[in-house]
């Protein structure tokens, strides 16, 4: 970690009214702060979980309600609903200063209405749809007593062995930054204080997605240059979007746990980025600095965490049991405690909780919002947009009227709970539309039959004969295969990314029966399915699409919605290629011909290329890219150049295309990847329609973090590439930066 001289923590503490804060609120905060005892101040830094736990159970909690009444708790997580939040808030209001609690919850992809998992939504590349999804989640949560969600997860993830890729926006920094901002705005609106907005939380700060070997909770080793170039920008985008809170991460970065990392939390976040919200530790991560070997005990861990800028302690009880003593011993300055308390009280005032602690716990509003019949339409819209068409030979899709007999085979065909994915608030499968149900509702006169064939996991192949027999009567087979919802999310790293159980064997047995096969794959991560990729006639990647999944898939299969999704993550051919992203380097020995790899940067047993590339996704129509022009062949540092070209829908269906702008810095003081996404537009065109697309090139698109961590655009030549995917470049031009 570059030893940047960081400003003493005290410097930051004297910014009582940090820039961007409301001075009236800051005055109110200080009026409360000066009434508080040291014990009460430490109480605000303590967060307890309710009865539902989302981490290792901490049995040290003796009498939670008594602690709340004594003013020893500032926030609760995993308590929801008007009834429970009112009851517990009432206990907090019996404390001496009656400081209201913050209620927080993992509202990751919906509260009552279950949306597609975040990685699926990222495949839509539709920022408005993503924001709308978060807004519905905020409106429903805020009607149920929730003030704060632990979302968006903005970790760049380039290792699909890490199950938490499901919670993020994929592998790309630029796309991930735009999605981070969209989600923050969706949750928080343009400002906090309304009853349809909740505090968002940018997590997990930072670089959690780079865990060694894709193993959850593991160490992260990477250069400062990579940290700034790849992993930090989505967090900065969240700060720029006004995110109210951050959550740090379980991993170390170059040997220093994020929770105890002053460079991250004070130098960068609260210093350079001037973040004036607060940082909550991840579940127990303060205490986990002891097993990491970074702290001798919980007292030492508390000292290191508060010094490093961790404001609130989720569930380790380290602060509650040690901070008062540390201040009394002079090991922790009271200014550090006051700064953390100010940050937390500020948000409570901003939300309006001091004026009305029950503002978000209104039974009438809860009932009204939960029965809003329009929310499912928002879920269906983004579910359709998240589906990625990976293959469609002989235009098998969309299904035509001539297809009279369809057999649906596979363990995910009637699945409901799996379609909700991981990290949901509460499962209600009565609302979930399975793939089979979606097809039945859409198929009209076609006959739809179902055979499960096998389970998601396990070795039982006894269902194969019935599945193969059913194929005889079918015109088309639709196979629904993939992971179960428990296989992605937290603590779900996999060393093998193939389809679980005997699903691939089932696919081969069914395919051998000789009928056209549409494979619909459902998972929370990229899986490896090479035979399906080669032998299926059509493939949809349907992630976990939430409660509207079955209808969304049926609408795509029948062409009511022309698929427009593009992969936000690279799909490897084999686990051995991981970590694999589209941002590969040319190396000094690039492979020009896959048949000539001797002494080249290549594998002797695998191709370098992925099974499916970042940004890839087909449509039922086709698009041409022609006539690229640059408004000038060169530009100065403060100049701008317009890149334009014509996009035409050359097929017979209306459809949306995500046109992608990539760039390569041809010669630089820090070697740059062969391509980096710098802009995109999702363009809807009717059949035959054309449109001139323009991207504006400024030095921000040309710049990168160099070895000195300066964000610089170096003079020289750049290749500008426009395409339909990172491996499908249609047009190219060279630009010189003078
Ligand atoms: C978990 C997760 C974090 C979540 C928190 C509260 O361990 O790492 O993403 O927000 O605990 O549930």
- pTM for this prediction: 0.96
Task: Give residue 18's pLDDT.
Answer: 59
Please compute the mean of the pLDDT values over residues 542-571 and round it to a whole number. Answer: 98
Judged by phi (left if over 0) then psi (alpha if -120 to 50, else beta), residue 11 lies in alpha
Query: What percent of the chain stands above pLDDT 90?
Result: 94
Dig out the tokens for 211 from the structure: 């865990």
Task: Give residue 238's pLDDT.
Answer: 98
Q: Which residues contact 617 (CB under 8 A, 6 or more apart)?
A: 123, 388, 389, 390, 563, 564, 565, 566, 567, 658, 725
- pLDDT digits 0-9 by tens, 394-447: 999 999 999 999 999 999 999 999 999 999 999 999 999 999 999 999 998 999
Considering only CA atoms, which of 11, 80, 59 is closest in space to residue 336?
A: 11
Decide: 692 and 656 in contact? Cβ < 8 Å: no
Q: Whose CA is nearest to atom 8 of ligand 1?
A: 282
Task: Give residue 60's pLDDT.
Answer: 67
Question: According to CATH, where is 3.40.50.1700 located in the chain?
Answer: 367-577
Please compute the mean of the pLDDT values over residues 307-311 and round it to a whole number. Answer: 98
Residue 397 sits at φ, ψ, to 5 deg, of: -105, 150
- The domain made up of 7-361 has a fold known as TIM Barrel (3.20.20)
**Whole-number Å distance between alpha carbons of 126 and 138:** 19
Task: Tell me how far the alpha carbon of residue 34 lies from the centroid of ligand 1, in angstroms.
Answer: 33
Residue 689 sits at φ, ψ, to 5 deg, of: -75, 145
Question: According to CATH, where is 2.60.40.10 located in the chain?
Answer: 623-737
Query: What percent of the chain stands above pLDDT 70?
Result: 97
Helix H, strand E, coil C: the string for 209-231 is HHCHHHCCCCCECCCHHHHHHHH
Decide: 240 and 181 in contact? Cβ < 8 Å: yes
Decide: 12 and 339 in contact? Cβ < 8 Å: yes
Decide: 527 and 497 in contact? Cβ < 8 Å: yes
Please compute the mean of the pLDDT values over residues 67-73 and round it to a whole number. Answer: 97
Task: Tell me how far the alpha carbon of residue 51 lies from the centroid of ligand 1, in angstroms.
Answer: 15
Please compute the mean of the pLDDT values over residues 81-93 and round it to a whole number. Answer: 97
CB half-sphere exposure, 527, CA atoms < 13 A: 25
Please compute the mean of the pLDDT values over residues 318-331 and round it to a whole number. Answer: 98
Question: According to CATH, where is 3.20.20.300 located in the chain?
Answer: 7-361
423 CB within 6 A, ligand 1: no
Residue 478 sits at φ, ψ, to 5 deg, of: -115, 120
Active site residue 282: yes
- pLDDT digits 0-9 by tens, 635-691: 999 999 999 999 999 999 999 999 999 999 999 999 999 999 999 999 999 999 999
490 CB within 6 A, ligand 1: yes
Residue 321 has pLDDT above 90, yes or no: yes
**Whole-number Å distance between alpha carbons of 429 and 655:** 32
Dig out the tokens for 417 from the structure: 């709970």
657 CB within 6 A, ligand 1: no
- pLDDT digits 0-9 by tens, 333-385: 999 999 999 999 999 999 999 999 999 999 999 999 999 989 999 999 999 99
Q: Whose CA is nearest to atom 10 of ligand 1?
A: 150
Residue 476 sits at φ, ψ, to 5 deg, of: -140, 145
Q: Where are the alpha helices (DSSP H) in 548-693?
A: 549-557
Please compute the mean of the pLDDT values over residues 77-86 and round it to a whole number. Answer: 96
SS3 659: strand
Instruction: Report the nearest atom of ligand 1 relative to the CA of 201.
Output: 10
Q: Which residue has the higher pLDDT, 22 or 246?
A: 246
**Whole-number Å distance between alpha carbons of 18 and 719:** 42
CATH 3.40.50.1700 fits 367-577, yes or no: yes
Residue 594 has pLDDT above 90, yes or no: no
Task: Give residue 58's pLDDT.
Answer: 72
CB half-sphere exposure, 520, CA atoms < 13 A: 31
Residue 11 has pLDDT above 50, yes or no: no
Look at domain 623-737 and name its CATH class.
Answer: mainly beta
- The helix (run of H) or strand (run of E) holding residue 161 is none
Out of 106, 155, 172, 282, the active site residue is: 282
Strand-strand pairing, 690-698 and 655-665:
unpaired
Residue 200 has pLDDT above 90, yes or no: yes
**Whole-number Å distance between alpha carbons of 97 and 32:** 8
Please compute the mean of the pLDDT values over residues 623-631 and round it to a whole number. Answer: 98
Task: Tell me how far the alpha carbon of residue 204 lies from the centroid of ligand 1, in angstroms.
Answer: 9
150 CB within 6 A, ligand 1: yes
Task: Tell me how far the alpha carbon of residue 382 lies from the centroid of ligand 1, in angstroms.
Answer: 25
Task: Give residue 13's pLDDT.
Answer: 43
The whole-chain average pLDDT of the chain stands at 96
Residue 537 has pLDDT above 60, yes or no: yes
SS3 121: helix
């Amino acid at each position: 970690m570059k030893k940047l001289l960081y400003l003493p923590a005290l410097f930051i503490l004297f910014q009582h009214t940090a820039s961007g804060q409301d001075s009236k609120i800051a005055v109110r905060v200080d009026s409360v702060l000066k009434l508080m005892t040291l014990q009460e101040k430490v109480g605000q830094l303590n967060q307890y979980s309710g009865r539902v736990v989302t981490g290792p159970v901490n049995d040290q909690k003796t009498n939670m309600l008594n602690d709340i009444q004594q003013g020893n708790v500032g926030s609760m997580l995993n308590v929801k609903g008007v009834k429970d939040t009112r009851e517990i808030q009432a206990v907090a209001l019996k404390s001496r200063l009656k400081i209201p609690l913050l209620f927080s919850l993992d509202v990751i992809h919906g509260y009552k209405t279950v949306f597609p998992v975040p990685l699926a939504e990222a495949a839509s590349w539709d920022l408005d749809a993503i924001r709308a999804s978060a807004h519905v989640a905020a409106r429903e949560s805020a009607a149920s007593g929730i003030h704060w969600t632990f979302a968006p997860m903005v970790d760049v993830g380039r290792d699909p062995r890490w199950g938490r890729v499901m919670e993020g926006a994929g592998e790309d920094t630029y796309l991930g930054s735009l999605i981070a901002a969209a989600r923050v705005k969706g949750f928080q609106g343009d400002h906090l204080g309304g009853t349809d907005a909740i505090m968002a939380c940018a997590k997990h700060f930072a670089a959690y997605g780079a865990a060694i070997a894709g193993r959850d909770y593991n160490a992260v080793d990477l250069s400062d240059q990579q940290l700034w170039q790849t992993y930090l920008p989505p967090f900065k985008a969240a700060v720029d979007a006004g995110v109210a809170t951050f959550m740090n991460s379980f991993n170390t970065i170059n040997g220093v746990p994020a929770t105890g990392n002053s460079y991250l939390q004070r130098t960068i976040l609260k210093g350079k980025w001037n973040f004036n919200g607060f940082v909550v530790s991840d579940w127990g991560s303060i205490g986990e600095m002891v097993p990491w070997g970074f702290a001798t005990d919980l007292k030492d861990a508390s000292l290191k965490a508060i010094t490093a800028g961790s404001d609130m302690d989720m569930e380790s009880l380290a602060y509650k049991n040690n901070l008062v003593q540390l201040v009394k011993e002079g090991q922790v300055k009271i200014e550090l405690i006051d700064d953390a308390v100010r940050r937390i009280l500020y948000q409570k005032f901003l939300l309006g909780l001091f004026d009305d602690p029950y503002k978000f716990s209104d039974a009438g509003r809860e009932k009204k919002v939960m029965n809003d019949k329009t929310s499912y339409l928002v879920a269906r819209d983004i579910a359709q947009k998240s589906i990625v068409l990976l293959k469609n030979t002989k235009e098998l899709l969309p299904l035509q009227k001539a297809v009279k007999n369809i057999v649906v085979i596979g363990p995910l065909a009637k699945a409901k709970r799996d379609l909700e994915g991981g990290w949901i608030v509460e499962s209600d499968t009565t609302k979930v539309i399975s793939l089979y149900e979606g097809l039945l509702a859409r198929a009209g006169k076609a006959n739809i039959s179902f055979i499960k064939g096998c389970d998601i996991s396990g070795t039982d192949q006894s269902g194969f004969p019935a599945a193969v027999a059913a194929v005889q009567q079918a015109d088309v087979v639709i196979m629904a295969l993939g992971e179960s919802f428990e296989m992605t999310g937290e603590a779900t790293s996999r060393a093998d990314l193939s389809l679980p159980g005997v699903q691939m064997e089932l696919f081969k047995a069914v395919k051998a029966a000789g009928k056209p096969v549409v494979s619909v794959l459902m998972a929370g991560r990229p899986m490896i399915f090479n035979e399906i990729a080669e032998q299926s006639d059509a493939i949809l990647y349907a992630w976990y699409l939430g409660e509207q999944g079955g209808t969304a898939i049926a609408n795509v299969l029948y062409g009511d919605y022309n698929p427009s999704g593009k992969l936000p993550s690279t799909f490897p051919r084999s686990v051995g290629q991981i970590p694999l992203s589209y941002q590969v380097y040319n190396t000094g020995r690039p492979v020009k011909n896959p048949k000539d790899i001797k002494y080249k940067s290549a594998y002797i047993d695998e191709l370098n290329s992925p099974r499916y590339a970042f940004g890839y996704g087909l449509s039922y129509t086709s698009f041409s890219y022609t006539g690229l022009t640059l408004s000038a062949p060169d530009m100065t540092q403060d100049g701008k150049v317009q890149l334009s070209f014509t996009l035409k829908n050359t097929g017979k269906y209306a459809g949306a295309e995500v046109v992608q702008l990539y760039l390569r810095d041809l010669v630089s003081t820090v070697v740059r990847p062969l391509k980096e996404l710098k802009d995109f537009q999702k363009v809807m065109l009717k059949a035959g329609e054309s449109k001139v697309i323009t991207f504006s090139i400024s030095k921000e698109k040309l710049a990168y973090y160099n070895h000195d961590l300066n964000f610089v655009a170096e003079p020289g030549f750049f290749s500008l590439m426009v395409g339909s995917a990172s491996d499908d470049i249609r047009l190219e031009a060279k630009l010189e930066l003078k």
